[in-house]
């Protein structure tokens, strides 16, 4: 059962071949047996999952089932879950148990899905390798047979590793600068970052509020569509949520790609991309040409400014968002503080990891008097230029395609002492967040036995088109079916 997709499991449950309780127990047993190799989960909710599975079986018996009723999945540990601790991968929230559900968690509960637990992540979603978690690094299931541990990507690395290792069929993720697409690419699964505002951020612990977006991670495009059917929609509790009709994302998966116009941004096929990676991505794009798509080159002239702009804007917003973690109301508090200032400083010094501290310092500096105009304001102007580049490109093409990462998964520890090298891992993903666009990663081959991701980028609210393009590619290839040894 662990090799079946969400769509297949849903059909098995519908036919009565297996009950949700049996299915959930199988996944829980596998998780306990296998996750010691990957460290992909922070919290496993065994008792709650089995209780939810029993309730799902009752829902099906009463004829009130949805496609998700009784299907196991996992939440990235950034979504608040009522009664289950939500840590955000940080010592600061190690024992935090929210008194409410995030909207995304609420929606999956209403659909009858069974949450097996909370997946590991870079602390407060800050990282590209899932090595900054207070609960230890996550190991990519790919490459283990060679004896060298590799990163799964970040910050949604726990979700990506769990899906790739067949511990869960699907998991939620979040994407601020590539945190769904990059781990999906490095772990050989499919991941979608929706349009900013398409999925509610209520109850999703904030890193950078103008960039964060919840999204989907599973093995197939079809499963991502089934997830987005649950997650998407307007939420009056989130001021950035868009009030716009939600289509059935599975309805257009089988549409022909004949005549689809694909743009290749020349800036994304530069010397930053290894020749072997470029070859795999171009091979994938040639598959689209076989299906009748038209490929042309486009330009995103301001793409080279994306990393500089992002690493001013995101840390500035993080500096503001993380100021709430001060030891006063909830979360970690230092022991025996001498006075209020001692409590503030020691709580934050002890509770945050190095990468989080680094970004808070950069962000506070960029927002400080005398530097706001020179850094933050300037970065926002560059952001508008980047957005305009995409607007211009989509006048001529339907989607853009590019690599997701400059190279396959690198070794654990390889880049932890060089923050700039780590930041450059997101060189092909960050601009999409600055522009608020939807994009997804789909498995598109291997380099040195490690997965390669193809990035498909769309105009605002074109998730159905992206999923259609990904699904048709997966009907013609089997990269998404490959599994780690």
| Residues classed as catalytic | 76, 155, 179
Cβ contacts of 364 within 8 Å, gap of 6 or more: 319
Dihedral, CA atoms, 13, 17, 19, 22, nearest 10 degrees?
A: -120
CA distance 213 to 192: 10
Structure-token pair, residue 189? 């699964």
CA distance 177 to 432: 8
User: In Å, what is the CA distance from 426 to each residue of 65, 141, 357?
Assistant: 40, 21, 20
Cis peptide before 379 (omega within 30 of 0): no
User: In Å, what is the CA distance from 298 to each residue of 154, 262, 265, 266, 294?
Assistant: 29, 9, 5, 6, 13
Sign of CA dihedral 112, 116, 122, 128: negative
Cβ contacts of 28 within 8 Å, gap of 6 or more: 44, 46, 49, 50, 116
Q: Please check whether residue 23 is in contact with residue 31, taking contact to mean a CB–CB distance below 8 angstroms.
A: no
Please state, as a whole number, how many other Cβ atoms lie within 10 Å of the Cβ of residue 82: 15
Closest alpha carbon to 105 in 97, 113, 95: 113
Please state, as a whole number, how many other Cβ atoms lie within 10 Å of the Cβ of residue 282: 16
**Which strand ranges, in their side-by-side order, compose the sheet holding 261-265?**
41-44, 114-119, 72-76, 170-174, 214-218, 190-193, 439-447, 450-458, 399-403, 261-265, 294-298
| Alpha helix positions (H), 402-462 | 419-423, 430-435
Residue labelled with tokens 């798509």:
293
How many alpha carbons lie under 13 Å from residue 390 in its C-beta half-sphere?
24
Residue labelled with tokens 């009664």:
83
Please provide residue 423's backbone torsions phi and psi, each rounded to the nearest 5 degrees.
-65, -35
User: In Å, what is the CA distance from 371 to each residue of 267, 286, 360, 379, 383?
Assistant: 30, 47, 15, 12, 18
Q: Please check whether residue 306 is in contact with residue 314, taking contact to mean a CB–CB distance below 8 angstroms.
A: no
Q: How large is the angle between the packed helices 463-476 and 221-231, nearest 10 degrees?
A: 160
Residue labelled with tokens 């995409």:
390
């Amino acid at each position: 059962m662990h090799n079946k997709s969400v769509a297949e499991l849903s059909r098995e449950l519908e036919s009565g071949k297996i009950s949700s309780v049996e299915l959930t127990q199988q996944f829980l047993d596998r998780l306990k047996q296998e996750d010691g190799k990957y460290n992909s989960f922070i919290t496993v909710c065994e008792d709650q999952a089995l209780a939810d599975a029993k309730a799902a079986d009752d829902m099906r018996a009463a004829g009130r089932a949805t496609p998700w009723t009784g299907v196991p999945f996992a939440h990235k540990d950034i979504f608040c879950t009522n009664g289950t601790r939500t840590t955000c991968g940080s010592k600061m929230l190690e024992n935090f148990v929210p008194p409410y559900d995030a909207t995304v968690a609420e929606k999956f509960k209403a659909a009858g899905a069974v949450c097996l637990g909370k997946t590991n992540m870079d602390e407060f979603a800050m990282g590209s390798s899932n090595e900054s978690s207070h609960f230890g690094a996550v190991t990519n299931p790919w490459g283990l047979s060679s004896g060298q541990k590799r990163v799964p990507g970040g910050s949604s690395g726990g979700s990506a590793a769990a899906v790739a290792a067949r511990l869960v069929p699907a998991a939620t993720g979040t994407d601020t600068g590539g945190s769904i697409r990059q781990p999906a690419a490095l772990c050989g699964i499919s991941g979608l970052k929706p349009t900013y505002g398409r999925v509610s951020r209520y109850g999703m612990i904030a890193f950078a509020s103008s960039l964060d977006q919840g999204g989907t991670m599973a093995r197939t495009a079809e499963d991502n569509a089934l997830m987005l059917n649950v997650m998407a929609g307007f939420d009056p509790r989130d001021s950035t949520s868009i009030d716009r009709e939600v289509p059935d994302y599975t309805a257009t998966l089988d549409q022909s790609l004949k005549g689809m116009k694909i743009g290749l941004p020349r800036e994304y096929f530069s010397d930053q991309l290894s020749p072997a990676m470029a070859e795999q991505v171009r091979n994938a794009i040639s598959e689209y040409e076989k299906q009748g798509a038209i490929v042309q080159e486009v330009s995103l002239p301001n793409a080279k400014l994306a990393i500089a702009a992002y690493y001013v804007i995101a840390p500035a917003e993080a500096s503001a968002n993380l100021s709430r973690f001060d030891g006063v109301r909830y979360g970690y508090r230092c022991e025996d503080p001498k006075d209020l200032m001692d409590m503030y400083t020691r709580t934050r010094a002890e509770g945050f990891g190095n990468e989080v501290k680094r970004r808070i310092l950069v962000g506070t500096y960029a927002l400080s008097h005398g530097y706001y105009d020179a850094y933050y304001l300037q970065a926002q102007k560059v952001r508008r230029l980047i957005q305009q580049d995409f607007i211009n490109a989509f006048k001529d093409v339907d989607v853009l395609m590019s690599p997701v990462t400059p190279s396959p998964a690198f070794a654990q520890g390889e880049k932890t002492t060089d923050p700039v090298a780590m930041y450059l891992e997101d060189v092909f993903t960050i601009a999409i967040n600055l522009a608020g666009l939807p994009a997804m990663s789909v498995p598109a081959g291997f380099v040195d036995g490690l997965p390669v991701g193809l990035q498909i980028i769309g105009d605002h609210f074109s998730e159905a088109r992206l999923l259609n393009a990904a699904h048709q590619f997966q009907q013609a290839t089997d990269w998404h079916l490959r599994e780690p040894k």
